[in-house]
Structure 1
Amino acid sequence: MITHFFTFLLAALTGIEQASLIDWTASRKLTWADFKAPPDPASSNAALTSSSINVEFGYDDEELQYTIKCRFDKNKSWVRIHNHVILSHEQGHFDIAELHARKLNQALKAYRFNAKTVNDDVNRIYDSVMSIHHSAQREYDKETDFSRNKEKQAQWLKIIAENLQELKAFAPYGAKAITPAQQK
């Protein structure tokens, strides 16, 4: 029996209808119809993508179980300028989130289960991956100048696609269990 249950969110999901969330899939690309929030009048951005990486986990003395979700929030994402370059840039943000969801899965799979420290260990792993994720998102905007540097934008999209392919083995991140016996 699982004795503990914790949820961590990149973006708060409390009270959001599940219908406003889109799970990341390779076959489902964002469209402008997905951006439902009104533009932020204080922002000069052309658009904003709100995505979350969620991990739910539970454990007992013998195993850790977890699930990861990477989602786009329609009700927190907005657009001011509609064009294919900006939409591609926003898809890049969502793809970067997926890339880090896979990295989180990779890190949790490599975790050496310890029932005494599992809660702190999973928190530390999550925080570490999310720190890298936030840095990657900022670097993406900086280097691409928010999609205006077309050469850098193309380079980034290529690198993101390559990294997603490299981490394809960590894409199916549904329910997982890690036990000490599996780690030997």
Structure 2
Amino acid sequence: MVSENEILSWSKDYSLQWSDFKAEHNPATYEDSHSVIKYGFTWVVDSEKVGDDVLFFIKNIQISVEFCPLLSSVRVSNANDQLLKHEQGHFDLAELVRRQNISSLQMKFEGKKFPTRGKNEEQRKQFAKEDSGKMISLEVEKIQKILDKRIQEYDETTDFGNNLEKQSEYDLHFQQLKL
């Protein structure tokens, strides 16, 4: 179960349940269900003094795939196993895109040093944390855009899970993530 402010992180051991879709469904929308999936990230920022300058570097960037129950909904009259499997596919696709892009994101920052701003050490540390977060966030947004495009392709190809042949092709692909 998730509490009010929690998200569900993707795991090979967990599959979405209809009870995870906690938002009230808008009866005017075309779609029978709606999943809100985004990427979260953590990182470590460190700094070193080089002459008079303080430089920061970023390491241990981790990205997580997060399903947002309080923003996700389903039209109860249409909640069935086939549709749930399709929604799980959105979650699995997000994990697939994460895996395909994490190392290039990490490589963008690995071993690089960036200048800090601020008048004293305390300010520089604060700005290093803030600036590094913004830098990573921009890269994560690019991955989110890739995901949005892939989800659109997935929905169109599978006709939102109604094309069982195409859906099962995707499902087979997603099973590889759980090995």
**Taking structure 2 as the reference length, what is the TM-score of the superposition?**
0.71
* Stretches of structure 1 lacking an aligned partner (at least 5 in a row): 1-15, 169-184
Q: Does 1:22 align with 2:19?
A: no
Q: What letter corresponds to residue 77 of structure 1 in structure 2?
A: S
- 1:110 correspondence with 2:107: yes
TM-aligned CA deviation for residue 123 of structure 1: 4.6
Once residues 57 and 106 of structure 2 are traced to their aligned partners in structure 1, the CA distance between those partners, rounded to angstroms, is: 15
Contact 2:38–2:144 (8 Å) recurs in 1? no
Listed as ranges, the matches of 1:47-66 within 5 Å are 47-60=33-46, 61-66=56-61
Aligned to 1:146: 160
After TM superposition, the score normalised by the length of structure 1 is 0.69
Distance 1:123 1:24 in 2: 19
3-state SS, counterpart of residue 114 of structure 2: coil
Q: Which runs of 4+ in 1 moved over 6 A?
A: none
Structure label with greater radius of gyration: 2
Question: Which moved further from structure 2: 143-152 or 98-107?
Answer: 98-107
1:97 to 82, 94, 102: 94
Asked whether the equivalents of residues 104 and 125 of structure 1 are also in contact (C-alpha less than 8 Å), the reply is no
Q: Kindly state the Cα deviation for residue 87 of structure 1 after the two structures are TM-superposed.
A: 0.5
Kindly, what percent of the aligned residue pairs are identical? 28
Instruction: Report the counterpart of residue 79 of structure 1 in structure 2.
Output: 74
Q: Is the 8 A contact 1:51 1:71 kept in 2?
A: yes
Write the letter of the residue equivalent to 1:64: K
Total equivalences in the alignment: 148
* Amino acid paired to 1:115: K
Deviation at 1:23, TM superposition (A): 1.4
Q: Which position in structure 2 is the counterpart of 1:133?
A: 147
